[in-house]
Structure 1
Amino acid sequence: MTYLWLSLVFVALAAVVGVACVRKGASSSEARQHWKAAGLAFGALAVLTAAFDSMMIGMELFRYDASHILGLKIGLAPVEDFAYPLAGVLVLPGLWVWLTRGRQPIQRRNLKGLIPQALLASRPISWINTAYPFAAAMFLTTREVDWVLVVGTLYFLIPYNLAMYGINDVFDYASDLQNPRKGGIEGALLQPRLHRPMLWLAAITNVPFLVVLALAGGPAAWLSIAVSAFAVVAYSVAGLRFKERPVLDSLTSSTHFVSPAVVALTLAGAEMTPGLLILLAAFFLWGMAAHAFGAVQDIEPDRQANIASIATVFGARRTVRLAVVLWLVAGLAMLATPWPGPLAAAIAVPYIANCAPWWNVTDTTAARTNTAWRRFIWLNYGSGFLLTLILILQWNLTS
């Protein structure tokens, strides 16, 4: 697929949605003013795009395959680059007009605070946990930074987390009311008036990316993208609620973090070698351990809200012990991967050390494991640093 066709898909979708929203949400005179403002906004964004894209291309931060572009440029920026700001000014202001249309002033009040709450709900401190696996898998497979890597990393950095956690916060409202850790870095306590807007925001920010990534790949990529998106929805929404199906909850949660890497590998056409499959299996076990241990701290509010989880069913003590075993097996599995993969086995050690002191925790003291959970959040950054060093070593060995 050429960048031109990709750009046309973005612009066409944005135009259809934007025009429909403006027609539904504004009068004729308001619509004229809207499009004038949109035109001015696009002019400003076009200038910035030409300047900064030319700067980045001149610094060779990325490049375009000449066979995939028209060859027309403004500065050093291909004309295709300007499709994305055009799509933005077509769809985003239109959606705003529709969502805040003046015929129902109460809707404006209902949307107040949506963006800050959406940001809080998306857990910015954890964005890197899903974007990093995609970017690393894609870059190590293709050995280049292309538009698929950029678009995919951006998607798994913000929109994906907004959907994963935002949908969860909507459908977990009953238990979140009983949970003292909500309202900070561990998630939002969304007011009921924001529930529907949050779901719309999640859909609007995710669907375009999913369509574009699907167009960039073949059947294997379509399947991995579908599984990833389904896991995000199925974990929380009423009727599916995989998070209330013990063991399946941990399996689904782990899919949330492993699937970005699988999507990248399928988009890049990677060969699924035994070593790569073992690595993905170890990552999956790590994800299950993380979910199981995280569920322990929520045993009390979950039971009060009649929510079943791996921790409410197994109990705090057995769940903690299961998490330790899963992290141990994940580390041992890395010893069976090609060099320098075995070095990553050491990454399991701090997680085990963080979890093991709670080996004999009881259901009544389960909430205290939140101190270890908060350490877990920061451990991920240290582990990411060590993993990056290992990946750099692998890069040098295979270059």
Structure 2
Amino acid sequence: MTLRYLLTLSRPRFWLYLAGPVLVGATYAAAELSDLTAPVVLALAAYFLVPANVFLYGVNDIFDRDVDEHNPKKEARETRYRGSRDVLVAVAASGVLGLGTFAVTPAVAWPWLAGFFALAVAYSAPPVRFKTTPLLDSASNGLYVLPGAAAYAALTGHHPPLLAVLGGWLWTMGMHTFSAIPDIQPDREAGIQTTATWLGEPRTYAYCVAVWALAAAAFALLDPRLLAVFAVYPVFCAWVARSAVPVERAYWWFPYLNGLAGMTLTLAGLWRLYG
């Protein structure tokens, strides 16, 4: 039962949100195809596929135990933490395992890894608990970009382009805040303040459109062809805001949209290697 619970807790639909950036970062860092199977890439991909998700979402669920009692998402696709000691041990072990990523990567990748682990804890755990502070909850979700930056740094020996990090960071801010729209009412009932509860639903849509547009602009400055991928997000958000599609339903389309975007970026990077 604990393994089944941990699987649900780790949000399998979202596994690629951490492992995907590793693959994309490694693809654009690679000088030749064999670099993609380098031990450091395989180690980072393995950790950020499952253990990192157990750690990230486990910390979240442990410190959100009271809040989640009001959240209907926990009744179907997700689950509620019930105080199991085995779960605490598994989440802690996943964090300790993450320390191994420092052992297999060069020092240039360490700031990116340290940033991930710091934000993964600070987002949910007191005394910081960014998730209960409007705007900081959104900004702190740049943590999803950091595994990709670490993979890029580990392969190249230098940091990734600033525009790539900025664009990815803004993109994650939009993703996080859009995902908080279905939680506006449960969060208000629980007394939790987020960017979405602070702005309200209509202005939260506008916020997401704005940060996704800025993300698309940053990526376009890096490479104009990337606009074709990232311009989809503000357009999609604006369509959802004006359509009759419930946001609770649209939220669950993002794993497919993000998977398609990630596949496009990865294939483009592979084409670069063959070109």
Would you call these one fold, judging by a TM-score over 0.5? yes
1:355 aligns with 2:243: no
Letter in 1 for 2:112: S
Letter in 1 for 2:4: P
For 1:213-262, what per-residue CA distance to the aligned partner results, in whole angstroms no more than 9, with x for missing partners? 2123344322222111111111111322111111111111122x101012
User: Of 164, 168, 173, which residue of structure 2 is paired with 1:283?
Assistant: 168
Question: 1: distance between equivalents of 2:51 and 2:75?
Answer: 20
1:208 aligns with 2:208: no
Question: 2: distance between equivalents of 1:237 and 1:371?
Answer: 29
CA contact (8 A) 2:28 2:152 kept: no
Match of 1:389 in 2: 267
User: Of 151, 158, 162, which residue of structure 1 is paired with 2:43?
Assistant: 151
1:330 aligns with 2:215: yes
Match of 1:60 in 2: none
1:345 aligns with 2:227: yes
CA contact (8 A) 1:246 1:310 kept: yes
Letter in 2 for 1:198: V
Q: Which runs of 5+ in 1 are unaligned?
A: 1-112
CA contact (8 A) 2:15 2:53 kept: yes
Match of 2:154 in 1: 267
Q: Which residues in structure 2 correspond to 1:240-259 (within 5 Å)?
A: 240-255=128-143, 257-259=144-146
Letter in 1 for 2:59: I
CA contact (8 A) 2:24 2:265 kept: no
Counterpart secondary structure, 1:217: coil
Counterpart secondary structure, 1:188: coil
Superposition RMSD in Å: 2.2
Match of 1:161 in 2: 53
Question: 2: distance between equivalents of 1:386 and 1:139?
Answer: 12
Letter in 2 for 1:237: A
Report the CA distance between 1:162 and its aligned residue: 0.6
Question: 1: distance between equivalents of 2:122 and 2:224?
Answer: 34
Using the size of structure 1 for normalisation, the TM-score is 0.63
CA contact (8 A) 1:344 1:390 kept: no
User: Of 315, 321, 336, which residue of structure 1 is paired with 2:200?
Assistant: 315
Identity over aligned pairs, percent: 30
User: Of 95, 105, 127, which residue of structure 2 is paired with 1:217?
Assistant: 105
How many residues were matched structurally? 271
Letter in 1 for 2:62: V
For 1:274-323, what per-residue CA distance to the aligned partner results, in whole angstroms no more than 9, with x for missing partners? xx221221111110001111111101100111111111112211111010
Report the CA distance between 1:270 and its aligned residue: 3.8
1:199 aligns with 2:88: yes
Question: 2: distance between equivalents of 1:261 and 1:149?
Answer: 10
Q: Which has the higher contact order (CA 8 A, sep 6+)?
A: 2
1:171 aligns with 2:63: yes
Question: 1: distance between equivalents of 2:228 and 2:157?
Answer: 26
Q: Which residues in structure 2 correspond to 1:369-388 (within 5 Å)?
A: 369-388=247-266
For 1:109-131, what per-residue CA distance to the aligned partner results, in whole angstroms no more than 9, with x for missing partners? xxxx2211111010111111211
Letter in 2 for 1:190: Y
1:334/1:221 CA distance change after superposition, 3 Å: closer
1:386/1:265 CA distance change after superposition, 3 Å: closer
Match of 2:124 in 1: 236
1:387/1:140 CA distance change after superposition, 3 Å: closer
CA contact (8 A) 1:297 1:370 kept: yes
Letter in 2 for 1:392: L
Using the size of structure 2 for normalisation, the TM-score is 0.90
Match of 2:178 in 1: 293
Q: Which runs of 5+ in 2 are unaligned?
A: none
Question: 2: distance between equivalents of 1:349 and 1:222?
Answer: 31
Report the CA distance between 1:141 and its aligned residue: 2.1
Return the index of the structure with the highest Cα Rg. Answer: 1
For 1:179-205, what per-residue CA distance to the aligned partner results, in whole angstroms no more than 9, with x for missing partners? 2122443x222223x2x4323211212
For 1:314-350, what per-residue CA distance to the aligned partner results, in whole angstroms no more than 9, with x for missing partners? 221111101011111211222211xxx3222112233
CA contact (8 A) 1:118 1:198 kept: yes
